[in-house]
Structure 1
Amino acid sequence: MDISVIFQFLKDLAANNNREWFNAHRDYYEAARSEFDHLLSAVISRIALFDESVRCLEPKDCTYRIYRDTRFSEDKTPYKIHFGGYINAKGKKSYHCGYYVHLQPDNCLLAGGSYCLPSPLLRAIRQAVYDNMTEYRSIVEDPLFKQYFPVVGETFLKTAPKGFPKDYPYLKYLQCKEYTVACSQPDHFFFEPDCLDRIDDIFRQMKRFSDFINYTIDEFEYE
C-alpha cells in the first residue's frame, strides 16, 4: 500500500482540476484509486473485528465517484479533490451511522454518524438522548471518546428544539442538527507504521456512539 501515490495525485488534481488534464492522467488516477481501495480494505478488515456487520463489504461498496455534481454549485471544477470511503453495512445512503475515511491533503479526517436526517427521525433521536441522558453522557463525555470527538454535531439550533424544555441542563446534546462526529488528522498520520492500529482505536471509540444512535434508528424504522 503506497499512501504517497494518493496524496500526490490529489495535490496534482487540485492544481489541474480540468477534464483535459484528468483524461491525460487517467492511469495516474486509477493507480491512486487502487491504493485508496487497498487502504479501505485494510480498514474494513480491522473494523470487522469489533463490528461484524461490515465484514461483507468491499471498497467498491464504500467509495464515491470522483466527479462532482456541479449543477447547483458556483464552483464548476469537475472533480473532487479528495477520496472518501463510507463503511456502512446499510449502504452509503443509509441514515445509520457508519465509518468514514476522508483523504485530502491538509484536510484529512475520520468521521461518522447520521447525516441529513428527516425531521421525524431527528426528533426520535433527540427524544432517545433525552430519555437516556445518563447513558448518552457516559459515552460522549468519556475522556477516551472525547480525545477524538470533542463535539457531536456540525450545526446547532440557537435554542431548545420544539417540545424540549429551554432550561434543560444538557440542552447542548439536543441542539445539534445532525448526530455526527469527526476527528481531523494531519496527512502524516496515514504514513505512520501504526496507522491502522490508531484508526482501529478511533473507530472503536466511535462505535459506542454509533450503537446508541443506530438502536434508535432501528426502533424508529420498525414502528
Structure 2
Amino acid sequence: MAGAFQGFGEKAIPFLKALDFHQSREWFQENRDLYQSELHEPFCDLVETLSERFAAAGLGLRGDRKKSLFRINRDVRFSKDKRPYNRHLSAILSPDGTKMEQGVFYVHIGLERCFAGVAWWQPAPELLQAMRKAIVTKPAAFRGMVAALKKGGLALDAEDCLKRAPRSFEDVSEDDLAQAVRNRHFVVRHDIDPATIHTAALVDGLVDFTLRAKPLLDWGRAIQGKTG
C-alpha cells in the first residue's frame, strides 16, 4: 500500500550486499519479497512523499511510484560487465514527472554511497551552449547563483568537465567563468548518511537540500525558457 515514507527497511543495504554477492536471477527471485518490502516499496513511498513536499515548497519537481524509479536490473546489452543487477536503487523527480526532462532531483541509495543531486545533466547541445553563453554574457547572474549556493553550503561539481575551453569560448579569461564554461553538467550534490535512511527524517533532509539547491534550478530554468 502506498503511504508516507517511514524509512527504508533495516535489511535494505544488507539485501544489496547479498544481491551483489550472488548476482543471480534465481537468488533475486527467491528473495523478491524482501526486495519489495525493504527497498522498492519504501523507495516508491519516498518518491511520492517528496513529490508532495516539493509541490508544497513550490520547487516544480514531481514523480510517482511507476515512472520515477530506475530498474535495479542492469542493461548489459552493450557492456562487457554482464552482472545482471545494479549495486544501488535510484529515482528522478522532474518538472514533468518523467526521466526525460532537465533540471531534476536525483536520489541514490547504494553500497558505495547514498546521495542526492540537483542537476542539469548532459543537457542537449542547444541548451548547454545557451548556459555557457549566459555564463559569459551575464556573469553577475551566474555569480549570484554560485554565491547563493555557497550560502547554502553547496558548490557546483566540476566532475567530467572539459580539459580545454569549448569552441567559441577560448577567450574567456576570468578564472571562475573559464572553469564554468568547461562544465558538461551543472550539478550540486548532497551526501546522505546511510544510518539516516531508515527513518522518515530522511525526507526533511532531502527537502532542505533541494531548497538550498533551488538557485541552480532557477538559473537553468530562466535560460531554458529562452531556448524552448
Please indicate the TM-score interval, normalised by the length of the shorter structure: 0.7 to 0.9
Match of 2:75 in 1: 69
1:213 aligns with 2:202: no
Structure 2 length-normalised TM: 0.86
* Counterpart among 36, 44, 49 of residue 37 in structure 1: 44
SS at match of 1:177: coil
The aligned residue for residue 141 of structure 1 is 147
Question: What SS is found at the alignment partner of 1:54?
Answer: coil
Matches of residues 90-105 of structure 1 in structure 2 within 5 Å? 90=96, 91-94=98-101, 96-105=102-111
Pick one of 122, 133, 136 that aligns with 1:116. Answer: 122
Following superposition, the deviation at residue 196 of structure 1 comes to 2.1
State the identity as a percent. 24
Residues in 2 aligned to 1:75 and 1:186: alpha-carbon distance in whole angstroms: 29
Gaps of 5+ in 1: none
Structure 2 distance, partners of 1:24, 1:127, is 53
* Residue aligning to 2:197: 190
Question: Contact (CA 8 Å) 2:59, 2:211: kept in 1 or not?
Answer: no
Q: Give the Cα separation in 1 of the matches to 2:94 and 2:58.
A: 10
Greater Cα offset, 4-13 or 101-110: 4-13
- Give the CA deviation at 1:52: 5.6
**Contact preservation (8 Å) 1:14, 1:81:** yes
Q: Match for residue 3 of structure 2?
A: none
Partner residue in 1 for 2:166: 161
1:86 is matched with: 92
Taking the TM superposition and a 5 Å limit, the aligned residue runs for 1:18-57 are 18-31=24-37, 32-51=39-58, 53-54=60-61, 57=63
- How much has 1:64 moved relative to structure 2? 1.3
Task: Find out whether 1:127 has 2:96 as its counterpart.
Answer: no
Alignment match, 2:156 = 151
TM-score between the two structures when normalised by the length of structure 1: 0.88
Farther off after superposition, 75-84 or 114-123: 114-123
Which letter maps to 1:154?
E
Q: CA deviation at 1:129?
A: 2.0
Aligned residues: 217
Distance 2:95 2:225 in 1: 13
What's the offset of the Cα at 1:172? 1.1
2:16 counterpart residue number: 10
